[in-house]
Structure 1
């Protein structure tokens, strides 16, 4: 794995005047990825197509104002708990915890001010960018002081790897992910035409009316949720959730081992993205809640114009004892590795 280079510049300022830095990774194959120390946000992923034309396949904004005022978590690291916690509350070791409610009746993506809305400390170590954030005890009402690191690295094999660690001073739920929105035709494309998806989940989690898992772990066999063989994404979206597409967790195997879990191909451009993860779940989301949003280059993003593949533990695990455990305790280390590999169709 050869080294990519990392450079740093200033991207803007937060509302309270703190400077936000942008780090740019480049490799020998004309792939460029840019990330911020604010929210660990991936702002750009520039990838060549089969004709050598380079396009940005990651939705986002040209300036900080967009990320501060109108971002639906574009490109950000989500924590302490990605996805939804039903009712914004849970019990842990005999203690009831009430969280902020910011998504109907639920707590979503760590609350009002999650990990996506803070500046992280940064260290460049060769071709790795290491970001660190200490979340205070009772931040967003979660117990324990949690220290989290996120490491980004781009190889000359076109693998963009994300490694996470976390420790805590008190038992607390932890579920970290990255919420990049992809369109392999190029950000700003109005739909997901031409995309073919394969997702290796034998089971998925059915949802209730509040997008909370019912507790069932259902086989995909014989249902529109079966993505184990490549299928046209846009056509399959029409068969799911009354035509509103995917916002579902797929069960992709035991946690702990890095495994191939998904591939998306864009047939017209030849671009391919492979996803590997150590996580037990992969949330497939096809941007049904994306409202018209002014994005990069003056383009207005539309509903169903991007997909997310978010490696994580199962949503609402705190309420389902048969789901993989998401509680981190003081003597434990949370670890996750997820990789996105960009290439061309053979």
Structure 2
């Protein structure tokens, strides 16, 4: 079932809608037209109790003022572009340098604060669209659609498509913050995390890839076997790989649509599996949160209270020739799919 509700009004008077998907089997998702934000996902625990496992805000104004892109679709190019510039067809393009001299998540032109159009909604899905005119420095236009589908087996399927008018880099993802114990719980240290990756893209102190693709074996980044997140973060903090927690791009093993990562909360029994056809995934442990502001339902969100599985192309791929090619040619399309599969495991 899909329900469309007015959530608020943009400063220019444009309505923002909340689209509620409910599989009537214990799982519900709320999607905002603003930023294509996943505002909440309610799913059951081992005792049949339901909780919202996604960090978020109560109202539109809070989202407009929120700098963390929480739950939003990120584009035109997610993650970092070194120096805020790239060259395409012998022309240099300059972007906003909003992160230590680099461009992060396409700067202020990213989709988190853009209001998508609700194109259609079916029994179990909603489709949002956005026309990106390239005002953030990227060439040409991109017609973006994102389809959210909630299945009977408790899977939120997110399908992205971008049709471009000129050759341009495209890298779309979602910046959803998960806490399987419930969004208001302050701790995730006992949650176990597994990432199916033998390699990661090495980066400098500003999270800019060096171009090296290195093995995780023998490093704190090795999450091939599920381990408690708190233990992993503590080991990471004593190493040269630390960014205040995890903020690393993993090279997901295999090709095609496959399992990329999994998380499990021993307290509730909730389990999340992430499937994708993307080559990489940025694993981020909410290192910037400080617990000061009040959020959805009055909750405080301290550091490391959640984690993100950002399925994506590699960071700065537009400037590193041996990374997967992010360029979509004139008149072409970029299509990618990610699934968040929820279950209960003892």
* TM-score tier after normalising by the smaller chain length: over 0.9
Q: Residues 248, 63 of structure 1: CA spacing in aligned structure 2 closer, same or farther, 3 A cutoff?
A: same
| Alpha-carbon offset, residue 53 of structure 1 | 1.2
Tell me, yes or no, if the aligned pair for 1:254 and 1:279 is still in contact at 8 Å: no
Q: Matches of residues 81-120 of structure 1 in structure 2 within 5 Å?
A: 81-120=77-116
Q: Matches of residues 216-235 of structure 1 in structure 2 within 5 Å?
A: 216-235=212-231
Q: Residue 313 of structure 2 corresponds to which residue in structure 1?
A: 313
Report Cα offsets for 1:254-311 as digits up to 9, x if no partner.
55x2101111000110000000000000110001112333211111111111100010
Tell me, yes or no, if the aligned pair for 2:21 and 2:125 is still in contact at 8 Å: no
Q: Residue 40 of structure 2 corresponds to which residue in structure 1?
A: 44
| Alpha-carbon offset, residue 205 of structure 1 | 1.2
Q: Matches of residues 135-150 of structure 1 in structure 2 within 5 Å?
A: 135-136=132-133, 138-150=134-146
Report Cα offsets for 1:233-259 as digits up to 9, x if no partner.
11101122447221000000455x210
Q: 1:74 aligns with which of 70, 74, 86?
A: 70
Cα separation, 2, equivalents of 1:168 and 1:232: 42
Cα separation, 2, equivalents of 1:21 and 1:67: 13
Q: Residue 252 of structure 2 corresponds to which residue in structure 1?
A: 252
Q: Residue 191 of structure 1 corresponds to which residue in structure 2?
A: 187
- TM-score, normalised with respect to structure 1: 0.95
Cα separation, 2, equivalents of 1:300 and 1:206: 33
Q: Residue 18 of structure 1 corresponds to which residue in structure 2?
A: 14
Is 1:280 aligned with 2:279? yes
Cα separation, 2, equivalents of 1:288 and 1:15: 31
Tell me, yes or no, if the aligned pair for 2:22 and 2:124 is still in contact at 8 Å: no
Cα separation, 1, equivalents of 2:18 and 2:160: 19
Tell me, yes or no, if the aligned pair for 1:238 and 1:244 is still in contact at 8 Å: no
Cα separation, 2, equivalents of 1:289 and 1:311: 20
Q: Report the 3-state secondary structure (helix = DSSP H, G, I; strand = E; otherwise coil) of the residue aligned with 1:214.
A: strand
Q: Residue 134 of structure 1 corresponds to which residue in structure 2?
A: 131
- Give ranges in structure 1 of 5+ residues lacking alignment: none
Q: Report the 3-state secondary structure (helix = DSSP H, G, I; strand = E; otherwise coil) of the residue aligned with 2:218.
A: coil
Is 1:167 aligned with 2:163? yes
| Alpha-carbon offset, residue 180 of structure 1 | 0.3
Q: Structure 1: which 4+ aligned runs deviate by more than 4 Å?
A: none
Is 1:28 aligned with 2:29? no
Report Cα offsets for 1:32-54 as digits up to 9, x if no partner.
10011110001011111111111
Q: Residue 326 of structure 2 corresponds to which residue in structure 1?
A: 326
Q: Report the 3-state secondary structure (helix = DSSP H, G, I; strand = E; otherwise coil) of the residue aligned with 1:288.
A: coil
For the aligned residue pairs, the C-alpha RMSD in angstroms reads 1.3
Cα separation, 1, equivalents of 2:290 and 2:69: 13
Cα separation, 2, equivalents of 1:265 and 1:285: 16
Q: Residue 178 of structure 1 corresponds to which residue in structure 2?
A: 174
| Alpha-carbon offset, residue 9 of structure 1 | 0.6
- Give ranges in structure 2 of 5+ residues lacking alignment: none
Q: Residue 343 of structure 1 corresponds to which residue in structure 2?
A: 343
| Alpha-carbon offset, residue 193 of structure 1 | 2.5
Q: Residue 238 of structure 1 corresponds to which residue in structure 2?
A: 234
- TM-score, normalised with respect to structure 2: 0.95
Cα separation, 1, equivalents of 2:22 and 2:146: 19
